[in-house]
Chain A
Amino acid sequence: SQKIEQNSEALNIQEGKTATLTCNYTNYSPAYLQWYRQDPGRGPVFLLLIRENEKEKRKERLKVTFDTTLKQSLFHITASQPADSATYLCALGAQTGANNLFFGTGTRLTVIP
């Protein structure tokens, strides 16, 4: 079955720096990959979707890359702020014909002022 690994359970970073989160997967060929943000006591919030034929996607201070050869996605937050502190989840989109997502366990990011 598919396996999704996010680089670490927790990541601390100084305000203003770029945070880089890693998502690796095995035994799967997703049609797309998504990133979500989850705050304590709340449901995940969708951030970005990147398809298998796309290398990079940007949205404001966020950037996602998708390397299907390495089976890896990188999620970058530039000019990080304390308000960016949250848990970030990557999710693999099912192969063609389905619409379900498989989620990683997340990386808890803390941006230190």
Chain B
Amino acid sequence: DAGVIQSPRHEVTEMGQEVTLRCKPISGHDYLFWYRQTMMRGLELLIYFNNNVPIDDSGMPEDRFSAKMPNASFSTLKIQPSEPRDSAVYFCASSLSDTGYTFGSGTRLTVV
């Protein structure tokens, strides 16, 4: 397996634009997580899915953020409109229940 695949690796966008981050989890994993990492706040859980169903989105900062998982092999995190304070590294991870997570390489987002 190629692991968790995220795209793009880097994204630079202007404030106010829509940004879509993509994730392909490991086949067979039934949990998918979106995290955001900054120097100030570390790794923060944004939302997670179990069997494609959103379970907890309490970490989503505000209505500008949305996430979908239309099937077991694909998830998106969308920010609309983007703001400079959204600049961070966004990680997707997948796992089986009660096991370690496998993280993707992350998407470094810069909003100017």
Contacts and interface: CB of A to CB of B under 8 A. Distances in A.
A49 B105 contact: no
Nearest to B9: A41
A48 to B, nearest CB: 8
Interface in A12-68: 31-32, 34, 36, 42-47, 49
A43 B103 contact: yes
A104 B43 CA distance: 8
A77 interface: no
Which label, helix, strand, loop or mixed, suits the secondary structure of the A interface? Answer: strand
A44 B92 CA distance: 11
Interface string B35-76: 100000011010010100001100000000000000000000
A99 B103 contact: no
The interface size bin for chain A is: 20 to 34
Contacts, number: 53
Interface in B88-110: 91, 93, 95, 97-106
Given A32-B98, A34-B100, A100 B45 contact: yes
Which label, helix, strand, loop or mixed, suits the secondary structure of the B interface? Answer: strand
Contacts of A93: 98
Given A46-B101, A99-B48, A106 B95 contact: no
B61 to A, nearest CB: 16
Given A43-B106, A98-B56, A100-B33, A49 B45 contact: no
A101 B99 CA distance: 11
A49 B48 CA distance: 20
B2 to A, nearest CB: 14
A46 B93 CA distance: 11
Contacts of B55: 98-100
A104 B44 CA distance: 10
Interface of A: 31-32, 34, 36, 42-47, 49, 89, 93, 98-106
17 contacts: A34-B100, A36-B101, A42-B105, A42-B106, A43-B91, A43-B93, A43-B105, A43-B106, A46-B100, A46-B102, A49-B98, A49-B100, A99-B48, A99-B98, A100-B55, A101-B45, A103-B42
